[in-house]
Structure 1
Amino acid sequence: MLTAERDKLFALLGNADERGATAFVLDLFEDGTPPEDLLLDLVAPVQVKVGDFWATNRWSVAQEHAATHISERVVAALSARTPVSPTRGHVVVSCMDGEWHALAARLVAEVLRLRGWRTTFLGASVPAAHLVSYLHQEGPDAVALSCALPVRLPHAHRMVETCQRTGVPVLVGGSGFGPGGRWARVLGAAGWAPGAREAAELLERRWPPEEPPRAQLDHLVDDEYPTLVKRREELIEIALAALREEFPAMANYAERQVEATIEDLGHLADFLAAAVYVQDSLLFTDFLAWMTAILDARHMPPTSLIVPMRAYWQALYDFPRARGHLEAGLSLAQS
Protein backbone atom coordinates (compact mmCIF):
# COMPACT_ATOMS: atom_id res chain seq x y z
CA MET A 1 0.00 0.00 0.00
CA LEU A 2 1.27 3.44 -1.00
CA THR A 3 4.58 1.93 -2.14
CA ALA A 4 5.22 4.39 -4.96
CA GLU A 5 4.10 7.25 -2.75
CA ARG A 6 6.64 6.22 -0.11
CA ASP A 7 9.45 6.45 -2.64
CA LYS A 8 8.28 9.89 -3.70
CA LEU A 9 8.00 11.19 -0.14
CA PHE A 10 11.40 9.76 0.77
CA ALA A 11 12.96 11.54 -2.20
CA LEU A 12 11.37 14.82 -1.11
CA LEU A 13 12.70 14.36 2.43
CA GLY A 14 16.13 13.54 1.04
CA ASN A 15 16.09 16.86 -0.81
CA ALA A 16 14.91 18.69 2.34
CA ASP A 17 11.91 19.87 0.34
CA GLU A 18 9.42 20.78 3.06
CA ARG A 19 7.01 22.57 0.77
CA GLY A 20 7.02 19.74 -1.76
CA ALA A 21 6.59 17.03 0.88
CA THR A 22 3.71 18.84 2.55
CA ALA A 23 1.94 19.55 -0.75
CA PHE A 24 2.41 15.93 -1.86
CA VAL A 25 0.79 14.46 1.25
CA LEU A 26 -2.03 17.01 1.32
CA ASP A 27 -2.78 16.32 -2.35
CA LEU A 28 -3.11 12.62 -1.52
CA PHE A 29 -5.53 13.54 1.24
CA GLU A 30 -7.57 15.75 -1.07
CA ASP A 31 -7.69 12.88 -3.58
CA GLY A 32 -9.34 10.66 -0.99
CA THR A 33 -6.58 8.79 0.84
CA PRO A 34 -7.70 8.43 4.49
CA PRO A 35 -5.58 10.54 6.86
CA GLU A 36 -4.88 7.55 9.13
CA ASP A 37 -3.42 5.68 6.15
CA LEU A 38 -1.28 8.68 5.25
CA LEU A 39 0.09 8.80 8.80
CA LEU A 40 0.71 5.09 9.35
CA ASP A 41 1.23 3.66 5.86
CA LEU A 42 3.15 6.57 4.37
CA VAL A 43 4.80 8.91 6.89
CA ALA A 44 5.68 6.23 9.47
CA PRO A 45 7.42 3.72 7.15
CA VAL A 46 9.23 6.53 5.33
CA GLN A 47 10.54 7.75 8.68
CA VAL A 48 11.77 4.23 9.45
CA LYS A 49 13.71 4.34 6.18
CA VAL A 50 15.16 7.71 7.18
CA GLY A 51 16.46 6.09 10.37
CA ASP A 52 17.90 3.17 8.44
CA PHE A 53 19.76 5.50 6.08
CA TRP A 54 21.30 7.31 9.04
CA ALA A 55 22.20 4.04 10.79
CA THR A 56 23.95 2.65 7.72
CA ASN A 57 25.94 5.83 7.20
CA ARG A 58 24.18 6.75 3.95
CA TRP A 59 22.80 9.94 5.48
CA SER A 60 24.44 12.32 7.89
CA VAL A 61 22.93 13.33 11.22
CA ALA A 62 22.05 16.68 9.65
CA GLN A 63 20.14 15.00 6.81
CA GLU A 64 18.25 12.80 9.27
CA HIS A 65 17.34 15.78 11.44
CA ALA A 66 16.12 17.78 8.43
CA ALA A 67 14.00 14.87 7.19
CA THR A 68 12.49 14.25 10.62
CA HIS A 69 11.63 17.92 10.99
CA ILE A 70 9.85 17.86 7.64
CA SER A 71 7.93 14.72 8.60
CA GLU A 72 6.75 16.50 11.75
CA ARG A 73 5.66 19.50 9.67
CA VAL A 74 3.77 17.20 7.31
CA VAL A 75 1.91 15.62 10.23
CA ALA A 76 1.05 19.07 11.59
CA ALA A 77 -0.26 20.20 8.20
CA LEU A 78 -2.41 17.10 7.84
CA SER A 79 -3.73 17.58 11.36
CA ALA A 80 -4.80 21.12 10.53
CA ARG A 81 -6.79 19.78 7.55
CA THR A 82 -8.63 17.12 9.58
CA PRO A 83 -10.52 18.68 12.50
CA VAL A 84 -12.46 16.11 14.56
CA SER A 85 -14.84 16.82 17.44
CA PRO A 86 -14.02 14.57 20.42
CA THR A 87 -16.61 11.87 21.19
CA ARG A 88 -14.50 9.71 23.50
CA GLY A 89 -12.43 10.20 26.65
CA HIS A 90 -9.17 12.02 27.26
CA VAL A 91 -5.78 10.45 26.55
CA VAL A 92 -2.46 12.13 27.37
CA VAL A 93 0.39 11.07 25.07
CA SER A 94 3.98 11.67 26.11
CA CYS A 95 7.54 10.52 25.59
CA MET A 96 9.58 9.19 28.47
CA ASP A 97 11.93 11.48 30.34
CA GLY A 98 15.11 11.49 28.24
CA GLU A 99 13.33 10.13 25.15
CA TRP A 100 13.77 12.56 22.25
CA HIS A 101 12.27 10.47 19.43
CA ALA A 102 8.83 12.09 19.45
CA LEU A 103 7.39 11.46 15.99
CA ALA A 104 6.04 7.98 16.75
CA ALA A 105 4.21 9.28 19.82
CA ARG A 106 2.85 12.17 17.77
CA LEU A 107 1.45 9.68 15.26
CA VAL A 108 -0.30 7.80 18.06
CA ALA A 109 -1.82 11.04 19.33
CA GLU A 110 -3.03 11.95 15.84
CA VAL A 111 -4.61 8.56 15.19
CA LEU A 112 -6.42 8.65 18.54
CA ARG A 113 -7.63 12.17 17.72
CA LEU A 114 -8.93 11.03 14.34
CA ARG A 115 -10.83 8.25 16.09
CA GLY A 116 -12.61 10.66 18.38
CA TRP A 117 -10.43 10.79 21.48
CA ARG A 118 -9.56 14.08 23.12
CA THR A 119 -5.78 13.88 22.99
CA THR A 120 -3.10 15.98 24.59
CA PHE A 121 0.37 15.47 23.15
CA LEU A 122 3.08 16.62 25.56
CA GLY A 123 6.04 15.98 23.26
CA ALA A 124 9.56 14.68 23.84
CA SER A 125 11.37 14.08 27.14
CA VAL A 126 8.74 15.05 29.69
CA PRO A 127 10.10 14.98 33.27
CA ALA A 128 8.17 12.56 35.47
CA ALA A 129 7.29 15.19 38.08
CA HIS A 130 5.78 17.50 35.47
CA LEU A 131 3.83 14.66 33.85
CA VAL A 132 2.40 13.56 37.18
CA SER A 133 1.41 17.12 38.04
CA TYR A 134 -0.40 17.36 34.71
CA LEU A 135 -2.22 14.07 35.29
CA HIS A 136 -3.39 15.29 38.70
CA GLN A 137 -4.71 18.48 37.13
CA GLU A 138 -6.42 16.92 34.12
CA GLY A 139 -7.50 13.46 35.33
CA PRO A 140 -7.35 11.74 31.90
CA ASP A 141 -8.72 8.28 31.16
CA ALA A 142 -5.28 7.01 30.15
CA VAL A 143 -1.71 8.09 29.63
CA ALA A 144 0.20 6.68 26.67
CA LEU A 145 3.99 6.65 27.04
CA SER A 146 6.42 6.14 24.17
CA CYS A 147 9.91 4.66 24.45
CA ALA A 148 12.02 4.08 21.33
CA LEU A 149 15.21 2.81 22.97
CA PRO A 150 15.45 -0.02 25.53
CA VAL A 151 18.27 1.82 27.26
CA ARG A 152 15.58 4.14 28.65
CA LEU A 153 13.66 1.32 30.37
CA PRO A 154 14.87 2.13 33.91
CA HIS A 155 13.47 5.63 33.42
CA ALA A 156 10.34 4.14 31.87
CA HIS A 157 9.76 2.00 34.96
CA ARG A 158 9.89 5.03 37.21
CA MET A 159 7.48 6.92 34.99
CA VAL A 160 5.04 4.00 34.72
CA GLU A 161 5.10 3.50 38.47
CA THR A 162 4.71 7.22 39.21
CA CYS A 163 1.82 7.64 36.76
CA GLN A 164 -0.03 4.64 38.14
CA ARG A 165 0.12 6.12 41.63
CA THR A 166 -2.10 8.93 40.33
CA GLY A 167 -4.77 6.36 39.48
CA VAL A 168 -4.34 6.82 35.71
CA PRO A 169 -3.75 3.51 33.87
CA VAL A 170 -0.66 3.49 31.65
CA LEU A 171 -0.50 2.30 28.06
CA VAL A 172 3.00 2.03 26.59
CA GLY A 173 4.38 1.55 23.11
CA GLY A 174 7.51 1.84 21.04
CA SER A 175 10.35 -0.48 20.06
CA GLY A 176 12.06 0.25 23.38
CA PHE A 177 9.73 -2.22 25.08
CA GLY A 178 11.07 -5.12 23.03
CA PRO A 179 9.47 -7.73 20.76
CA GLY A 180 5.88 -8.36 21.73
CA GLY A 181 6.16 -5.73 24.46
CA ARG A 182 8.00 -8.21 26.69
CA TRP A 183 9.59 -5.51 28.83
CA ALA A 184 6.33 -3.56 29.19
CA ARG A 185 4.99 -6.48 31.20
CA VAL A 186 8.21 -6.65 33.23
CA LEU A 187 7.77 -2.99 34.18
CA GLY A 188 4.13 -3.46 35.17
CA ALA A 189 2.46 -1.30 32.50
CA ALA A 190 -1.30 -1.76 32.28
CA GLY A 191 -1.18 -2.23 28.53
CA TRP A 192 1.14 -2.35 25.54
CA ALA A 193 0.47 -1.76 21.85
CA PRO A 194 2.89 -2.25 18.94
CA GLY A 195 1.48 0.66 16.98
CA ALA A 196 -1.09 3.43 16.78
CA ARG A 197 -3.92 1.31 15.37
CA GLU A 198 -3.42 -1.32 18.04
CA ALA A 199 -3.33 1.37 20.74
CA ALA A 200 -6.64 2.77 19.52
CA GLU A 201 -8.22 -0.67 19.44
CA LEU A 202 -6.95 -1.48 22.93
CA LEU A 203 -8.43 1.72 24.34
CA GLU A 204 -11.72 1.12 22.56
CA ARG A 205 -12.21 -2.51 23.58
CA ARG A 206 -10.33 -3.45 26.74
CA TRP A 207 -9.66 -0.35 28.81
CA PRO A 208 -8.97 0.03 31.62
CA PRO A 209 -7.71 -3.46 32.52
CA GLU A 210 -9.46 -5.17 35.41
CA GLU A 211 -6.21 -6.29 37.05
CA PRO A 212 -3.13 -4.16 36.35
CA PRO A 213 -0.02 -6.35 36.15
CA ARG A 214 2.61 -6.41 38.82
CA ALA A 215 6.16 -5.39 37.92
CA GLN A 216 8.51 -8.38 37.64
CA LEU A 217 11.63 -6.79 39.06
CA ASP A 218 12.33 -8.73 42.24
CA HIS A 219 15.93 -9.19 41.10
CA LEU A 220 16.55 -5.49 41.76
CA VAL A 221 16.80 -6.20 45.49
CA ASP A 222 20.55 -6.55 44.96
CA ASP A 223 22.76 -3.54 44.19
CA GLU A 224 24.14 -4.76 40.87
CA TYR A 225 22.27 -2.28 38.69
CA PRO A 226 22.99 0.94 40.63
CA THR A 227 26.63 -0.06 41.17
CA LEU A 228 27.01 -0.81 37.47
CA VAL A 229 25.65 2.63 36.62
CA LYS A 230 28.12 4.25 39.05
CA ARG A 231 31.02 2.44 37.41
CA ARG A 232 30.09 3.56 33.87
CA GLU A 233 32.99 5.99 33.35
CA GLU A 234 35.47 3.53 34.86
CA LEU A 235 34.29 0.80 32.49
CA ILE A 236 34.62 3.11 29.49
CA GLU A 237 38.21 3.94 30.43
CA ILE A 238 39.06 0.24 30.87
CA ALA A 239 37.54 -0.67 27.52
CA LEU A 240 39.22 2.26 25.75
CA ALA A 241 42.61 1.13 27.07
CA ALA A 242 41.91 -2.42 25.86
CA LEU A 243 40.99 -1.15 22.39
CA ARG A 244 44.16 0.96 22.17
CA GLU A 245 46.22 -2.07 23.05
CA GLU A 246 44.43 -4.21 20.44
CA PHE A 247 44.49 -1.51 17.74
CA PRO A 248 47.73 0.54 17.94
CA ALA A 249 46.51 2.65 15.01
CA MET A 250 44.10 4.33 17.40
CA ALA A 251 47.06 6.43 18.54
CA ASN A 252 46.55 8.37 15.29
CA TYR A 253 42.82 8.90 15.77
CA ALA A 254 41.53 12.43 15.38
CA GLU A 255 39.69 13.90 18.35
CA ARG A 256 36.35 13.30 16.63
CA GLN A 257 37.14 9.60 16.19
CA VAL A 258 38.12 9.22 19.85
CA GLU A 259 34.90 10.92 20.93
CA ALA A 260 32.86 8.59 18.70
CA THR A 261 34.61 5.55 20.19
CA ILE A 262 33.95 6.74 23.75
CA GLU A 263 30.30 7.35 22.84
CA ASP A 264 29.99 3.79 21.48
CA LEU A 265 31.57 2.35 24.63
CA GLY A 266 29.10 4.35 26.68
CA HIS A 267 26.21 2.88 24.67
CA LEU A 268 27.61 -0.59 25.31
CA ALA A 269 27.70 0.05 29.07
CA ASP A 270 24.24 1.61 29.08
CA PHE A 271 22.58 -1.26 27.23
CA LEU A 272 24.34 -3.73 29.51
CA ALA A 273 22.94 -1.88 32.52
CA ALA A 274 19.45 -1.88 30.99
CA ALA A 275 19.70 -5.64 30.43
CA VAL A 276 20.64 -6.05 34.07
CA TYR A 277 17.65 -3.91 35.06
CA VAL A 278 15.08 -6.09 33.26
CA GLN A 279 17.20 -9.27 33.61
CA ASP A 280 17.01 -10.19 29.93
CA SER A 281 20.04 -10.86 27.71
CA LEU A 282 17.93 -10.26 24.60
CA LEU A 283 18.03 -6.54 25.29
CA PHE A 284 21.82 -6.60 25.14
CA THR A 285 22.18 -8.98 22.19
CA ASP A 286 19.61 -7.08 20.11
CA PHE A 287 21.63 -3.93 20.65
CA LEU A 288 24.82 -5.76 19.63
CA ALA A 289 23.20 -6.98 16.40
CA TRP A 290 22.19 -3.40 15.60
CA MET A 291 25.61 -2.04 16.57
CA THR A 292 27.33 -4.65 14.39
CA ALA A 293 25.44 -3.30 11.38
CA ILE A 294 26.47 0.24 12.30
CA LEU A 295 30.13 -0.73 12.61
CA ASP A 296 29.97 -2.64 9.34
CA ALA A 297 28.71 0.53 7.64
CA ARG A 298 31.73 2.33 9.13
CA HIS A 299 34.01 -0.48 7.90
CA MET A 300 34.97 -1.36 11.46
CA PRO A 301 35.93 -4.97 12.40
CA PRO A 302 33.68 -7.01 14.76
CA THR A 303 36.57 -7.23 17.23
CA SER A 304 35.88 -3.61 18.08
CA LEU A 305 32.88 -4.97 20.01
CA ILE A 306 34.46 -8.14 21.31
CA VAL A 307 37.44 -6.39 22.90
CA PRO A 308 35.42 -4.00 25.12
CA MET A 309 32.98 -6.75 26.09
CA ARG A 310 35.88 -8.89 27.29
CA ALA A 311 37.26 -5.91 29.17
CA TYR A 312 33.88 -5.34 30.84
CA TRP A 313 33.61 -9.05 31.71
CA GLN A 314 37.00 -9.05 33.39
CA ALA A 315 36.31 -5.84 35.32
CA LEU A 316 32.87 -7.01 36.51
CA TYR A 317 34.10 -10.16 38.25
CA ASP A 318 31.60 -9.71 41.11
CA PHE A 319 28.58 -8.88 38.89
CA PRO A 320 27.09 -12.28 38.01
CA ARG A 321 24.06 -11.01 36.12
CA ALA A 322 26.05 -8.50 34.06
CA ARG A 323 28.60 -11.20 33.28
CA GLY A 324 25.83 -13.51 32.08
CA HIS A 325 24.60 -10.87 29.63
CA LEU A 326 28.16 -10.20 28.45
CA GLU A 327 28.69 -13.92 27.85
CA ALA A 328 25.53 -13.97 25.72
CA GLY A 329 26.86 -10.98 23.81
CA LEU A 330 30.29 -12.53 23.27
CA SER A 331 28.69 -15.74 22.05
CA LEU A 332 26.71 -13.75 19.49
CA ALA A 333 29.65 -11.60 18.38
CA GLN A 334 31.97 -14.57 17.96
CA SER A 335 29.49 -16.73 16.04
Structure 2
Amino acid sequence: MKLINTYQCKYPGISIFEDLITPAMYYIGELWEHNKISVADEHLATAVCDMIISQLSILSEGTESNQKIMLLGLEEEQHYLGLRMVGIVFKKHGWDVKYLGPNLPLGHMLNFIDVWKPDVVGVSVALPYRLPTLIKYVESLEELHSPPQILVGGRMAEKIARIDHIQSDYLHIMNNLTMVENWIQERNTETREEKEFNGISTK
Protein backbone atom coordinates (compact mmCIF):
# COMPACT_ATOMS: atom_id res chain seq x y z
CA MET A 1 0.00 0.00 0.00
CA LYS A 2 2.88 2.36 0.78
CA LEU A 3 4.34 1.74 -2.68
CA ILE A 4 0.96 2.48 -4.30
CA ASN A 5 0.69 5.75 -2.37
CA THR A 6 4.19 6.67 -3.56
CA TYR A 7 3.23 6.05 -7.19
CA GLN A 8 0.01 8.05 -6.74
CA CYS A 9 2.11 11.06 -5.79
CA LYS A 10 4.14 10.63 -8.97
CA TYR A 11 1.12 9.74 -11.13
CA PRO A 12 -1.87 11.74 -9.77
CA GLY A 13 -5.46 11.12 -10.84
CA ILE A 14 -5.97 8.76 -13.77
CA SER A 15 -2.36 9.15 -14.92
CA ILE A 16 -1.40 6.16 -12.76
CA PHE A 17 -3.62 4.12 -15.09
CA GLU A 18 -2.73 5.90 -18.34
CA ASP A 19 1.02 6.23 -17.82
CA LEU A 20 1.87 3.20 -15.69
CA ILE A 21 -0.62 0.33 -15.60
CA THR A 22 -2.03 0.47 -19.15
CA PRO A 23 1.39 0.56 -20.87
CA ALA A 24 2.50 -2.31 -18.62
CA MET A 25 -0.57 -4.34 -19.59
CA TYR A 26 -0.04 -3.73 -23.31
CA TYR A 27 3.63 -4.66 -22.99
CA ILE A 28 2.72 -7.90 -21.23
CA GLY A 29 0.21 -8.67 -23.96
CA GLU A 30 2.79 -8.09 -26.69
CA LEU A 31 5.31 -10.35 -24.96
CA TRP A 32 2.69 -13.09 -24.73
CA GLU A 33 1.62 -12.69 -28.37
CA HIS A 34 5.25 -13.09 -29.47
CA ASN A 35 5.77 -16.14 -27.21
CA LYS A 36 8.36 -14.34 -25.10
CA ILE A 37 6.56 -15.15 -21.87
CA SER A 38 4.41 -18.11 -20.84
CA VAL A 39 0.72 -18.11 -20.01
CA ALA A 40 1.71 -18.50 -16.36
CA ASP A 41 3.90 -15.37 -16.59
CA GLU A 42 1.05 -13.45 -18.21
CA HIS A 43 -1.37 -14.55 -15.50
CA LEU A 44 1.07 -13.54 -12.76
CA ALA A 45 1.58 -10.09 -14.27
CA THR A 46 -2.18 -9.66 -14.64
CA ALA A 47 -2.68 -10.64 -10.99
CA VAL A 48 -0.18 -7.98 -9.88
CA CYS A 49 -1.96 -5.30 -11.93
CA ASP A 50 -5.30 -6.52 -10.58
CA MET A 51 -4.07 -6.21 -7.00
CA ILE A 52 -2.91 -2.62 -7.60
CA ILE A 53 -6.23 -1.71 -9.22
CA SER A 54 -8.11 -3.23 -6.27
CA GLN A 55 -6.17 -1.06 -3.84
CA LEU A 56 -6.82 2.05 -5.92
CA SER A 57 -10.52 1.18 -6.04
CA ILE A 58 -10.70 1.37 -2.25
CA LEU A 59 -9.29 4.89 -2.38
CA SER A 60 -11.69 6.20 -5.05
CA GLU A 61 -14.61 8.30 -3.82
CA GLY A 62 -16.79 10.98 -5.36
CA THR A 63 -19.89 13.09 -4.98
CA GLU A 64 -22.98 11.02 -5.74
CA SER A 65 -24.42 11.67 -9.20
CA ASN A 66 -27.40 9.24 -9.11
CA GLN A 67 -26.32 7.74 -12.43
CA LYS A 68 -25.58 4.08 -13.04
CA ILE A 69 -23.17 2.17 -15.24
CA MET A 70 -22.69 -1.57 -15.68
CA LEU A 71 -19.39 -2.87 -17.03
CA LEU A 72 -18.81 -6.23 -18.67
CA GLY A 73 -16.72 -8.28 -21.02
CA LEU A 74 -18.36 -9.79 -24.09
CA GLU A 75 -19.02 -13.51 -24.21
CA GLU A 76 -15.66 -15.36 -24.34
CA GLU A 77 -13.77 -12.08 -23.80
CA GLN A 78 -11.45 -12.71 -20.86
CA HIS A 79 -9.66 -9.34 -20.62
CA TYR A 80 -11.04 -7.28 -17.77
CA LEU A 81 -8.44 -4.98 -16.19
CA GLY A 82 -9.38 -2.06 -18.44
CA LEU A 83 -13.00 -2.38 -17.34
CA ARG A 84 -11.97 -2.26 -13.71
CA MET A 85 -10.00 0.94 -14.28
CA VAL A 86 -12.98 2.48 -16.06
CA GLY A 87 -15.13 1.53 -13.08
CA ILE A 88 -12.79 3.38 -10.72
CA VAL A 89 -12.97 6.52 -12.88
CA PHE A 90 -16.78 6.43 -12.85
CA LYS A 91 -16.81 5.75 -9.11
CA LYS A 92 -14.55 8.75 -8.56
CA HIS A 93 -17.19 10.90 -10.25
CA GLY A 94 -19.95 9.56 -8.01
CA TRP A 95 -21.54 6.96 -10.28
CA ASP A 96 -23.10 3.73 -9.05
CA VAL A 97 -20.93 1.07 -10.70
CA LYS A 98 -21.79 -2.58 -11.25
CA TYR A 99 -18.85 -4.59 -12.59
CA LEU A 100 -20.12 -7.90 -13.96
CA GLY A 101 -16.75 -9.29 -15.01
CA PRO A 102 -15.53 -10.85 -18.24
CA ASN A 103 -17.29 -13.38 -20.48
CA LEU A 104 -20.89 -12.31 -19.82
CA PRO A 105 -23.40 -13.96 -22.20
CA LEU A 106 -25.75 -11.63 -24.07
CA GLY A 107 -28.89 -12.99 -22.42
CA HIS A 108 -27.50 -12.44 -18.92
CA MET A 109 -26.54 -8.87 -19.84
CA LEU A 110 -30.07 -8.12 -21.06
CA ASN A 111 -31.65 -9.70 -17.96
CA PHE A 112 -29.50 -7.58 -15.65
CA ILE A 113 -30.32 -4.43 -17.61
CA ASP A 114 -34.03 -5.19 -17.31
CA VAL A 115 -33.73 -5.35 -13.52
CA TRP A 116 -31.13 -2.66 -12.77
CA LYS A 117 -31.84 -0.21 -15.64
CA PRO A 118 -28.39 1.38 -16.02
CA ASP A 119 -27.87 4.72 -17.75
CA VAL A 120 -24.72 3.42 -19.42
CA VAL A 121 -23.33 0.03 -20.43
CA GLY A 122 -19.57 -0.27 -20.90
CA VAL A 123 -17.96 -3.18 -22.77
CA SER A 124 -14.39 -4.08 -23.64
CA VAL A 125 -13.06 -5.61 -26.86
CA ALA A 126 -9.43 -6.68 -26.91
CA LEU A 127 -9.24 -9.03 -29.91
CA PRO A 128 -10.36 -8.50 -33.54
CA TYR A 129 -12.34 -11.72 -33.81
CA ARG A 130 -14.68 -10.47 -31.06
CA LEU A 131 -16.05 -7.73 -33.35
CA PRO A 132 -19.01 -9.81 -34.67
CA THR A 133 -20.00 -10.47 -31.05
CA LEU A 134 -19.74 -6.76 -30.29
CA ILE A 135 -22.07 -5.94 -33.18
CA LYS A 136 -24.62 -8.41 -31.79
CA TYR A 137 -24.44 -6.83 -28.32
CA VAL A 138 -24.74 -3.27 -29.66
CA GLU A 139 -27.73 -4.15 -31.84
CA SER A 140 -29.45 -5.84 -28.89
CA LEU A 141 -28.90 -2.78 -26.70
CA GLU A 142 -30.26 -0.46 -29.39
CA GLU A 143 -33.44 -2.53 -29.62
CA LEU A 144 -34.32 -1.99 -25.96
CA HIS A 145 -37.30 0.22 -25.13
CA SER A 146 -35.01 2.74 -23.40
CA PRO A 147 -31.51 2.08 -24.79
CA PRO A 148 -28.61 2.97 -22.50
CA GLN A 149 -25.59 4.85 -23.72
CA ILE A 150 -22.93 2.36 -24.86
CA LEU A 151 -19.23 2.85 -24.16
CA VAL A 152 -16.77 0.59 -25.98
CA GLY A 153 -13.08 0.44 -25.16
CA GLY A 154 -10.14 -1.93 -25.29
CA ARG A 155 -7.35 -2.58 -27.74
CA MET A 156 -9.80 -2.73 -30.67
CA ALA A 157 -11.43 0.63 -29.89
CA GLU A 158 -9.67 2.56 -32.66
CA LYS A 159 -10.56 -0.08 -35.27
CA ILE A 160 -14.18 -0.13 -34.15
CA ALA A 161 -14.43 3.62 -34.76
CA ARG A 162 -13.67 3.00 -38.45
CA ILE A 163 -16.37 0.34 -38.97
CA ASP A 164 -19.39 2.12 -40.47
CA HIS A 165 -22.01 -0.58 -39.90
CA ILE A 166 -21.71 -0.52 -36.12
CA GLN A 167 -22.07 3.24 -35.78
CA SER A 168 -24.94 4.27 -33.52
CA ASP A 169 -26.34 7.36 -31.82
CA TYR A 170 -25.89 5.51 -28.53
CA LEU A 171 -22.35 4.25 -29.20
CA HIS A 172 -19.27 6.05 -27.88
CA ILE A 173 -15.77 4.76 -28.61
CA MET A 174 -13.27 5.33 -25.81
CA ASN A 175 -9.61 5.09 -26.82
CA ASN A 176 -8.27 5.91 -23.36
CA LEU A 177 -9.26 6.85 -19.83
CA THR A 178 -8.87 10.57 -20.50
CA MET A 179 -11.68 10.29 -23.04
CA VAL A 180 -13.73 8.38 -20.47
CA GLU A 181 -13.23 11.04 -17.82
CA ASN A 182 -14.08 13.86 -20.24
CA TRP A 183 -17.25 12.03 -21.26
CA ILE A 184 -18.28 11.55 -17.63
CA GLN A 185 -17.75 15.23 -16.85
CA GLU A 186 -19.87 16.27 -19.84
CA ARG A 187 -22.57 13.77 -18.92
CA ASN A 188 -22.65 14.90 -15.28
CA THR A 189 -22.92 18.53 -16.38
CA GLU A 190 -25.77 17.77 -18.80
CA THR A 191 -27.63 15.76 -16.15
CA ARG A 192 -27.20 18.48 -13.54
CA GLU A 193 -28.42 21.19 -15.92
CA GLU A 194 -31.40 19.05 -16.93
CA LYS A 195 -32.38 18.55 -13.29
CA GLU A 196 -32.04 22.28 -12.58
CA PHE A 197 -34.19 23.11 -15.61
CA ASN A 198 -36.86 20.60 -14.62
CA GLY A 199 -36.84 21.96 -11.07
CA ILE A 200 -37.44 25.49 -12.31
CA SER A 201 -40.13 24.45 -14.79
CA THR A 202 -42.18 22.61 -12.15
CA LYS A 203 -42.34 25.53 -9.72
> What amino acid is aligned across from residue 162 of structure 2 in structure 1?
R
> What amino acid is aligned across from residue 195 of structure 1 in structure 2?
N
Q: Is the aligned partner of 1:48 residue 2:26?
A: yes
Shift in Å, 1:85:
4.3
Q: Please list every run of 5 or more consecutive structure 2 residues that lacks an aligned counterpart in the other structure.
A: 189-203
> What amino acid is aligned across from residue 156 of structure 2 in structure 1?
G
Q: Out of 148, 151, 160, which is 1:168 matched to?
A: 148
Q: Which residue of 2 aligns with 1:201?
A: 182
Q: Deviations over 1:275-312 (max 9, x none)?
A: xxxxxxxxxxxxxxxxxxxxxxxxxxxxxxxxxxxxxx
In 2, the alpha carbon distance for the partners of 1:80 and 1:203 equals 20
Q: Is the aligned partner of 1:187 residue 2:166?
A: yes
| TM-score between both structures, scaled by the size of structure 1 | 0.51
Aligned pairs (5 A) from 1:226-265: none
Question: Which one has a larger percent strand, Structure 1 or Structure 2?
Answer: 2
Q: Out of 71, 80, 100, which is 2:49 matched to?
A: 71
Q: Which residue of 1 aligns with 2:120?
A: 142
Distance verdict in 2 for CA 1:113–1:155, change over 3 Å: same
Q: Out of 58, 64, 68, which is 1:90 matched to?
A: 68
Shift in Å, 1:86:
2.6
Q: Tell me: higher relative CO, structure 1 or 2? Use CA pairs within 8 A at least 6 residues apart.
A: 2
In 2, the alpha carbon distance for the partners of 1:88 and 1:148 equals 30
> What amino acid is aligned across from residue 174 of structure 1 in structure 2?
G
Query: How many residues were matched structurally?
Result: 184
Shift in Å, 1:204:
3.4
Residue aligned with 1:144, SS? strand
Q: Please list every run of 5 or more consecutive structure 1 residues that lacks an aligned counterpart in the other structure.
A: 1-21, 208-335
In 1, the alpha carbon distance for the partners of 2:36 and 2:124 equals 27
In 2, the alpha carbon distance for the partners of 1:28 and 1:169 equals 33
Rg comparison, structure with higher value: 1
Distance verdict in 2 for CA 1:141–1:193, change over 3 Å: same
Shift in Å, 1:147:
0.7
The CA RMSD measured in Å over matched residues stands at 2.2
Residue aligned with 1:99, SS? coil
In 2, the alpha carbon distance for the partners of 1:203 and 1:25 equals 25
> What amino acid is aligned across from residue 187 of structure 1 in structure 2?
I
In 2, the alpha carbon distance for the partners of 1:140 and 1:24 equals 35
In 1, the alpha carbon distance for the partners of 2:75 and 2:12 equals 33
| TM-score between both structures, scaled by the size of structure 2 | 0.80
In 2, the alpha carbon distance for the partners of 1:61 and 1:73 equals 18
Distance verdict in 2 for CA 1:83–1:178, change over 3 Å: closer
Asked if 1 retains the 8 angstrom alpha-carbon contact of 2:126 and 2:154, the reply is yes
Q: Which residue of 1 aligns with 2:104?
A: 126
In 1, the alpha carbon distance for the partners of 2:154 and 2:135 equals 14
In 2, the alpha carbon distance for the partners of 1:62 and 1:41 equals 25
Residue aligned with 2:162, SS? helix
Question: Which one has a larger percent helix, Structure 1 or Structure 2?
Answer: 1
Shift in Å, 1:50:
1.2
In 2, the alpha carbon distance for the partners of 1:117 and 1:206 equals 11
Shift in Å, 1:27:
2.9
In 1, the alpha carbon distance for the partners of 2:2 and 2:37 equals 24
Q: Which residue of 1 aligns with 2:58?
A: 80
In 1, the alpha carbon distance for the partners of 2:25 and 2:77 equals 17
In 2, the alpha carbon distance for the partners of 1:117 and 1:197 equals 17
Query: Identity over the aligned pairs, expressed in percent?
Result: 25
Shift in Å, 1:170:
1.6
Runs of 4+ with deviation above 6 angstroms: none
